C-alpha cells in the first residue's frame, strides 16, 4: 500500500499548527493570570499600607482636649492644695458634721502638674498630666514615652458608690492616641501595682487597686484624729463634689 505523503504532510502541519496555537493560548493565559495575581498583590499591599498608616496615625493622634499645664517653676507645692483643699477637708472633718468638698478642674491640674515628673515604670516614662471633669467621668491624660516614641495616653474612670456604700473607681477606658488598649493597659497596670503596693492597706493604695482591678472598697479614711466616709460623688463639667459624713467608732 502506497503512502500518500501529501496527506501526511497536511496532517503534520495541522498538528504543528494546533500545538503552536495551544502554546500561544497557554502563554496568554499565563500572562493574564500573572497580571491578575500582580494586580491582586498590589491591591492587598495598598490596603495593608493604608491600614498601617491609619493605625500609626491613630496612635500618634493628639486629642484637642489635651492641654497640660506648662509648669516650669520650682518645687513649691500647689497653693490650691495647701490653702484651699486641705484646709477645707481638715475643717470639715473636725466639725464631725456632713460636709461637701469641691474640687475644681483648674485646681487639681495645678496640684498634679507640680508632682515629680516624669514618672518611670519598666522603661515607660509618663509626664505632662492633665485632668478633666465631666458628667461622664474623670479623664486623665499624659504623655507616654516608650523606646523613643511619644504618645498621648488617656485614662477614663467613673467613680460610683454601690448599695453597700462601697466606692468603685473602675477604669472604663484606656487609649493611646485614638487606639483603645484597655485590656492590655490594665494587665500592665496590675503587674506594676502588685510590685509597688507591697500589700499596703491604706486608703490610697486601695483606691489605686479599685482603679485597676475594679474592686469596691470601704471609702473611710482618717483626717488627723477624725474619720470620715465618702458617701456621695457628683461629677459636673470642670468640677467634682465629694460629700463626706463623719464616722464615729
Which residues of the chain carry a pLDDT beneath 70? 1-31, 33-35, 38, 49-52, 55-56, 71-75, 195-201
Find out whether the peptide bond into 64 is cis, omega within 30 degrees of 0.
no
Residue entry with cell 460623688:
233
What is the per-residue pLDDT for 42?
73
Q: Which helix (H) or strand (E) holds 240?
A: strand 239-247
Classify 57 in phi/psi space as left (phi over 0), alpha (psi -120 to 50) or beta: alpha
What's the pLDDT score for residue 10? Answer: 53
**Cα–Cα dist 151/126, whole Å:** 10
Closest CA to 142 of 45, 62, 78: 62
Q: What is the predicted pLDDT for the residue at 192?
A: 73
Cα radius of gyration (the chain)? 34
Q: Residue 121: what pLDDT?
A: 75
pLDDT, position 141: 95
In this prediction the pTM is 0.76
Write down the pLDDT at residue 16. 47
Amino acid at each position: 500500500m502506497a503512502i500518500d505523503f501529501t496527506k501526511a504532510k497536511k496532517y503534520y502541519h495541522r498538528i504543528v499548527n494546533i500545538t503552536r496555537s495551544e502554546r500561544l493560548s497557554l502563554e496568554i493565559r499565563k500572562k493574564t493570570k500573572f497580571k491578575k495575581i500582580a494586580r491582586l498583590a498590589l491591591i492587598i499591599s495598598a490596603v495593608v499600607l493604608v491600614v498601617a498608616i491609619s493605625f500609626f496615625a491613630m496612635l500618634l493622634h493628639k486629642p484637642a482636649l489635651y492641654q497640660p499645664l506648662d509648669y516650669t517653676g520650682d518645687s513649691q507645692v500647689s497653693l490650691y492644695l495647701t490653702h484651699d483643699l486641705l484646709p477645707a477637708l481638715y475643717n470639715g472633718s473636725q466639725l464631725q458634721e456632713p460636709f461637701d468638698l469641691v474640687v475644681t478642674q483648674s485646681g487639681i491640674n495645678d496640684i498634679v502638674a507640680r508632682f515629680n515628673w516624669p514618672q518611670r515604670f519598666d522603661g515607660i516614662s509618663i509626664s505632662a498630666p492633665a485632668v478633666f471633669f465631666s458628667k461622664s467621668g474623670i479623664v486623665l491624660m499624659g504623655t507616654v514615652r516608650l523606646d523613643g516614641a511619644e504618645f498621648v495616653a488617656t485614662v477614663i474612670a467613673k467613680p460610683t458608690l454601690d448599695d453597700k456604700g462601697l466606692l468603685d473607681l473602675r477604669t472604663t477606658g484606656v487609649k493611646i492616641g485614638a487606639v483603645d488598649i484597655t485590656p492590655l493597659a490594665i494587665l500592665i497596670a496590675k503587674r506594676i501595682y502588685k510590685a509597688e503596693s507591697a500589700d499596703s492597706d491604706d486608703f490610697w493604695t486601695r483606691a489605686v487597686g479599685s482603679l485597676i482591678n475594679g474592686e469596691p472598697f470601704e471609702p473611710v479614711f482618717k483626717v488627723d484624729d477624725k474619720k470620715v466616709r465618702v458617701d456621695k460623688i457628683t461629677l459636673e463639667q470642670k468640677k467634682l463634689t465629694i460629700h463626706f459624713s463623719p464616722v464615729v467608732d
